[in-house]
Amino acid sequence: MSRTTTLRAALAIAAIPFCTLTAQQSDLAISPFVSFLPSAGASPLAGLALTIAGNSGLGLRGSAHLSLQDPNDNTQFDSFATYRPWGADADLLLSIGGRAFGGNNRTFAPFVFAGIGTSGSDSTGRTVMKSNWSYGAGVSIPLGTALDVFAESRWRMSEYVLPTAQLAPMPTTELRFGLSFHVPTGSNAGYGRSRDRRAATVPGTVLPRNAGFAWPCMHGSACP
């Protein structure tokens, strides 16, 4: 399978959550990260995730990652080829005990997630793609109004079966660390301006008579 085909497959999986962008209209987070695979002993993988979330604690995330180095000796097959493990995931996230995703009132919060994905690796000089599903947990810590740091652990199942099912394969463990840059969108982006406009037009506001306002003179009455 060509590298272009595998890249298209990764982008397709990573783009699944963003079909709901118009429905959420709250917060977009861009998250560069690094993943480690302790059980495989492979080199770190660098990736990028995009998360769409609201203030309810739910979020949709698409991510893709690629190994930082080629683990193979390319001279065995093709001196000009590279075979780097890669993967892509589409996850549903749920913040528990706080707000970890959208809005300006984010707090220290653990979260859980589950999703589907695809991954590619080299086997005797050929790229092999596998579909999978995964689940995990993590924690998000706000560092400012638009920046978070997060860490999470993912357990990936190579087959679409429950971990407790009979003859189910052992899940592999992945550790992910990264930063999230929040970009307000939709209703959140104009919240401050709307609030200011509402405050300026609150009904029942009475201007003082000595505030420089020219009160109209009624017929038969003295002007102030």
Distance CA 137, CA 40 (A): 20
- pLDDT by 10-residue block (mean), the chain, 224 residues: 51 51 65 86 85 85 87 48 79 87 82 93 66 95 92 93 89 94 68 46 52 52 54
Angle ∠(1,68,170) on CA atoms, nearest 5: 70
Return all residues near 108 (Cβ < 8 A) that are at least 6 apart: 98, 139, 140, 141, 142
Please answer whether residues 168 and 146 qualify as being in contact, where contact means their C-beta atoms are separated by less than 8 angstroms. Answer: no
196 token code pair: 């200011």
pTM exceeding the 0.75 threshold for the entire prediction: no
DSSP conformation class of 16: G
Closest CA to 21 of 51, 46, 45: 51
Closest CA to 137 of 153, 148, 149: 153
Q: Which residue is it, tokens 């996230």?
A: 93
Please answer whether residues 137 and 111 qualify as being in contact, where contact means their C-beta atoms are separated by less than 8 angstroms. Answer: yes
What pLDDT does 84 receive?
A: 75
**Can you say whether the dihedral through the CA atoms of 91, 94, 99, 100 is positive or negative?**
negative
Q: Which residue is it, tokens 């085909």?
A: 5
Distance CA 39, CA 20 (A): 35
What pLDDT does 63 receive?
A: 96
| Domains and their CATH numbers in the chain | 3-194 (2.40.160.20)
N residues, the chain: 224
Count of CB atoms situated within 10 Å of the CB of 215? 9
Distance CA 205, CA 140 (A): 43
Report in angstroms the alpha-carbon separations of 119 from 10, 16, 182.
8, 16, 27
